[in-house]
Structure 1
Amino acid sequence: MAAKRGATFRRRELGKELRKLREKRDLTIQEVARELKFSHSKLARVEIGENDLPRVGAEAMRAYQPSFVFGFFQTEAYARALYQLAKPIDETTTEYVDTNVQLRMERKELITRSVDPVKLRVIMDESAVRRMVASREVMREQYAEIVAMGELENVTIQILPHDVLTYRTESNFVLIDFSETLAPVVQIDQWNTISVSDERSDVLRTIRRFDAMRDSALPPAHTAGFLKKLTTEWT
């Protein structure tokens, strides 16, 4: 049963949470899909866990990642290393690893597409980029990829250093903004649980968390230099 804690299970749990939010607002699939500007069949697939909402409906995202490189920035080699390390623990298959690595690579299109790319701002704790999950070569390649992603006009990346006295949270989260008529939601990921909320108090609390860490993190212009310095440590 441990394998159910993988990406497929998490998408299903996220779909359930999103369906609860829709039903709480007394909205039909067609109404929500129309606001998100995609077909109701896509939203239906989100609710049964075959797709993830951030990939198909977000206009802007703010995220914090304390442990690993943020998913949209991961290279194929780095992502594969993460899944391989977890494989004997979660009792997953090689096919599972291959499928989820491919899905992770496809999600990059959300921020790299030429038409209406999602506006993304990410804060990564220093631990997330320092933690060795693969060979030195893979880590160097990963740092270069983060730098390249940070050069996109719609992407802002900050590093929160170890030696800064500031608020931190151990859970990674994503604040997702949709159209003006749909409330923003916050998705919080923990080891074996995922929660989604559009409650104003939850969203505002998460915004305060994000803003506190944003204000304490290195300026975006310093991210490339920080990572290039780390690169020299892996030579």
Structure 2
Amino acid sequence: MSTSRGPSVRQRRLAAELRRLRERRSLTGDEVAERLTWSTAKVSRIENARTGAKISDVHRLLDLYEIDGSRRADLISLAHAAAERDWWEDYRDLPSPLADFIALEAEATAVREWGSTVFPGLLQTEAYARHVIGGWSALATLPPQELERRVEVRMRRQELLRRDRPLELAVVMDEAVLCRRIGDRKVMREQLEHLLRMSGLPNVTVQILPLDIAHSVLAETFILLEFSPVHDITFPDIVHTESLTISHFADETVTYMYRLAYMNLAGQAWDAAESRRRIIEARDAW
């Protein structure tokens, strides 16, 4: 399984802005390469985030595009951020699709998630996560050490919910998830207790979709990642799906379809207060 990593959101933002600045100056990639005595391939790699842009190279590009003042400072700040090493890069055994998703999630402003089979990863206890991830061993044959590292990664991802500017998480879960046994009764009870605690955070909303309604949308678990502009540089919404494989979609038509699906599911689900009452009932049943 490939472990090569894609560019981070910060790298993609920087690359897109450098390309936009070049086009605004009505310069071609060949002309930029000639003026800076670079290869055209180097300009292309930087503008497509296929290689990390050196700070010195960003300075030269901004000189060429005559960018100064606060705008220049913002872009240099972004370039420094894009060059930083992220914590998940220490986990070299992570499959590249998973590592790429973690990189996207880490820079998202908000997440809208539909959970049809298990509790969302950002809301799982360590014990529950160990059973969920361990279940993949039947397909991927994860060695015990790698399994523990995957669990550790999942727990570290949850820090997004408690950082200085926490991720906004809105979840709609199928009622069946509350009843689907993962591990033993103790694992389930602790998981539901944890869900109650997390749903009390101001940045976390949990809704439960009843089983006994006419379901108008039938979909596997999906996650919609939303990004706020950084230094006036926008980044498109991303849809992440995960069943036996992992996929990311950025096409605007596709992400809009998933947004409509989420809105429909949230509209049919119990509100947060009633959902909390149902979660307490499920906890007590376990």
Instruction: State the partner residue of 2:110.
Output: 60
**Percentage of pairs with the same residue:** 25
Unmatched segments (≥5 aa) in structure 2: 20-46, 59-74
How many residues are matched? Answer: 223
Q: Does 1:151 align with 2:194?
A: no
8 A Cα contact 1:78 1:142, kept in partner: yes
Scaled by the length of structure 1, the TM-score of the pair is 0.81
- Counterpart of 2:251 (choices 199, 203, 209) is 199
Instruction: State the partner residue of 1:74.
Output: 124
SS of 2:240 mapped into structure 1: strand
8 A Cα contact 2:238 2:248, kept in partner: yes
Instruction: State the partner residue of 1:169.
Output: 218
SS of 1:188 mapped into structure 2: strand
8 A Cα contact 1:187 1:194, kept in partner: no
Instruction: State the distance in 1 between where 2:218 and 2:235 align.
Output: 24
Instruction: State the partner residue of 2:227.
Output: 178
8 A Cα contact 1:122 1:156, kept in partner: yes
Instruction: State the distance in 1 between where 2:143 and 2:151 align.
Output: 12
- Counterpart of 1:226 (choices 255, 275, 278) is 278
Q: C-alpha deviations, 1:108-148, integer Å up to 9, x for none?
A: 110122x1001111111112222101111110100010011
8 A Cα contact 1:175 1:184, kept in partner: no
Please tell me whether Structure 1 or Structure 2 has the larger radius of gyration of its CA atoms: 2
8 A Cα contact 1:36 1:57, kept in partner: no
SS of 2:186 mapped into structure 1: helix
Decide whether aligned partners of structure 1 residues 128 and 37 sit closer, same or farther in structure 2, where only a CA change above 3 A counts.
farther
- When the two chains are superposed, the root-mean-square deviation of aligned CA atoms in Å is 3.3
Instruction: State the partner residue of 1:106.
Output: 156
Ranked by relative contact order (alpha carbons within 8 Å, sequence separation 6 or more), the top structure is 1
Instruction: Report deviation, 1:37.
Output: 8.5
8 A Cα contact 2:239 2:255, kept in partner: no
8 A Cα contact 1:186 1:202, kept in partner: no
Counterpart AA for 1:185 = D
Unmatched segments (≥5 aa) in structure 1: none
Counterpart AA for 2:211 = H
Instruction: State the distance in 2 between where 1:152 and 1:81 align.
Output: 25
Counterpart AA for 2:255 = V
Q: C-alpha deviations, 1:50-90, integer Å up to 9, x for none?
A: 56224421111111110000001100110111223332332
Counterpart AA for 1:122 = V
Instruction: State the distance in 1 between where 2:284 and 2:257 align.
Output: 38
8 A Cα contact 1:147 1:223, kept in partner: no
